[in-house]
Structure 1
Amino acid sequence: MNDFSDLSDVAVLMPAFNGQADVERTLASFSESATVHVLIVDDGSTPPIAAPRIDGMDIEILRLAKNGGIERALQAGMEALAARGVRYAARIDAGDLASPDRLAKQRVYMETHPRVAVLGMWTHVVSTSGAPLFDLTPPTEPAAIRREMLLRTCFTHPSLMLRVAAVIEAGNYRARYRAAEDLDLLMRLLKRHDGANLPEFGLFYELNESGISATKRRAQAVSTLRLQLRHARVTNPLDWIGIVKSIAHLVLPYRALRSLKAKLLKSAPSA
């Protein structure tokens, strides 16, 4: 019988490039009833990331010789977790904060839903000062996620818990689609497995103007569009609406898009 309070087969996977203070703040946000295992992939930081001492945490650092980008860091991290026999990888990025018992809640769901290989949670989006901006409440059920996957963001990447074996089987993270490595992996996972979201908030996502979505917005939009065109289903109109949205991301200013998105989300009815 499974012990749902046990997190021995779960590891938090966090890529990091510099930002020691953000790493420490993020890890300190975890509040679980069992020891939390963490793998930090130091993507060539100068100075190197140091493992903080946090009660209730077992922290390991995998150091990469040089900065190769988040795609390479996640790929190396997932390979390391697979080699260690870890079953579940819980993603989070430096600067984001976890809600209490996030890992335990996700593991319980994964244990009782063996067809699910990727599980997200709803997300509070906040500014770098912690001020609330808007909430992300994507669909929770596998069928709705499959239907809407190319229309909208159905998962917040740093909220995910992933089955490590399924990720490796699907080909792991890869750098073929720069700044859209999460969507690339998810589309491959959903070919053989289900995806779901817990209908509760598990993450405070920090919207940082210097983050990937801002500094690599065009590369992300191009990669997303390439993936949409590759996976689009002729009979699903939502896929084609998603393609139009990606084209809009390529031609409209980032701040205008972010402002419009925030207004739409605030005016949408609560799920």
Structure 2
Amino acid sequence: MPSSSSASPDPLSDVAVLMPAYNGQADVERTLASFAESALVRVLIVDDGSNPPIVAPTLPNMDVEIVRMPQNGGIERALQAGIEALAARGYRYAARIDAGDLAAPGRLAKQRAYLEAHPNVAGLGMWTQVVSREGAPLFVLRPAAEPAGVRRLRFFRTSLIHPAMMLRVDAVREVGNYRVAYRAAEDLDLFLRLMERYDCANLPELGLYYELNEGGISATKRRRQIVSTLRLQCRYFDAANLYDWLGLGKNLLHFVTPYTALKKMKRALFAASAN
């Protein structure tokens, strides 16, 4: 069982990378190879019914375990099973990442240190460089760092980037774990429930290279994701928060705008803000 002592000679002994995977063996290997930490990196892959099954790669400074789902049931159920498996193994922190994305050096140690120093923060993200499938940089996501800003902007912009998050396993289970109630928006559903009892924040430095994948959930399940987000906005809507109104309008615009047009608009806006 991982040690819970912050004075442990193995500073990442209570941290595990949590990665759901459905096929994509090469992406799994590339993502795991990107981790560069001074301590052993522990990984739990939840194989969501891949055919052929995901094989644990042999990488230096890394211990990889695979939990296999009996059949493909979706990312929501895979993450739920992953959190329960980490809890059973005694891990305190789950560091999310998706196959195809890359970790910045030292990400795990930085996030763990912050969470150790801020016990009321249940989820911690980082800034993210968005890249093309070929690795070309597109734009950088720099969400608000402080919990108040994350909470205020929760529906207006992406305040917490899921594959860049480190989560307290006990807090995630306390609020009901990942759920299938809001398909394709399981991350927002979890973050909103966490923020009812805890804070969520971001480290204002680069932690992830996020691959803009045309086969990802935001593209292939876009309509389902928008509907789930709208349902969450209605449930948690704060009429006194201007950004909740702006976020509602933004999501309705997404609902009626074709994905290709929306992608071009986003790239143009981020390019303009970077200049």
What is the distance in 2 between the residues matched to 1:266 and 1:87? 38
1:3 match: 7
TM alignment of 1:91-106, pairs within 5 A: 91-106=96-111
What is the distance in 1 between the residues matched to 2:271 and 2:13? 39
What is the distance in 2 between the residues matched to 1:65 and 1:212? 21
What is the distance in 1 between the residues matched to 2:166 and 2:227? 26
1:88 match: 93
What is the distance in 2 between the residues matched to 1:60 and 1:21? 17
Q: Does 1:243 align with 2:241?
A: no
TM alignment of 1:154-233, pairs within 5 A: 154-233=159-238
Give the counterpart of 1:32 among 32, 37, 45: 37
Question: Structure 1: where are the runs of 5+ without partners?
Answer: none
What is the distance in 1 between the residues matched to 2:231 and 2:116? 34
Q: Does 1:255 align with 2:235?
A: no
What is the distance in 2 between the residues matched to 1:269 and 1:30? 27
What is the distance in 1 between the residues matched to 2:154 and 2:116? 24
What is the distance in 1 between the residues matched to 2:73 and 2:251? 26
Give the counterpart of 1:142 among 123, 142, 147: 147
Q: Deviations over 1:22-45 (max 9, x none)?
A: 000000000000000000000000
The amino acid across from 1:107 in the alignment is: R
What is the distance in 1 between the residues matched to 2:108 and 2:89? 19
Compute the displacement of 1:7 (Å).
0.1
Compute the displacement of 1:195 (Å).
0.6
What is the distance in 1 between the residues matched to 2:175 and 2:219? 28
What is the distance in 1 between the residues matched to 2:75 and 2:116? 28
What is the distance in 1 between the residues matched to 2:103 and 2:59? 15
Please state whether the residue corresponding to 2:119 is helix, strand or coil.
coil
Q: Does 1:268 align with 2:262?
A: no
What is the distance in 2 between the residues matched to 1:65 and 1:241? 42
Give the counterpart of 1:66 among 67, 71, 76: 71
Please state whether the residue corresponding to 1:34 is helix, strand or coil.
coil
Give the counterpart of 1:107 among 109, 112, 115: 112
What is the distance in 2 between the residues matched to 1:244 and 1:229? 12
The amino acid across from 1:117 in the alignment is: A
Instruction: Give runs of ≥4 in structure 1 deviating > 4 Å.
Output: none
What is the distance in 2 between the residues matched to 1:2 and 1:83? 20
Q: Deviations over 1:53-78 (max 9, x none)?
A: 00100100000010000000000000
TM-score, normalising length: structure 1: 0.98
Give the counterpart of 2:132 among 93, 102, 127: 127
Compute the displacement of 1:2 (Å).
2.7
Q: Does 1:76 align with 2:88?
A: no
- Structure 1 residues 24 and 269: CA distance shift in structure 2, 3 A: closer
1:55 match: 60
The CA RMSD measured in Å over matched residues stands at 1.1
Percent identical: 66
The amino acid across from 1:258 in the alignment is: K
What is the distance in 1 between the residues matched to 2:7 and 2:59? 24
Q: Deviations over 1:177-217 (max 9, x none)?
A: 01000000000000010011000001000000011100001
Question: Structure 2: where are the runs of 5+ without partners?
Answer: none
What is the distance in 2 between the residues matched to 1:103 and 1:3? 16
Compute the displacement of 1:255 (Å).
1.1
What is the distance in 1 between the residues matched to 2:6 and 2:65? 26
2:121 match: 116
What is the distance in 2 between the residues matched to 1:180 and 1:55? 34
Compute the displacement of 1:269 (Å).
5.3
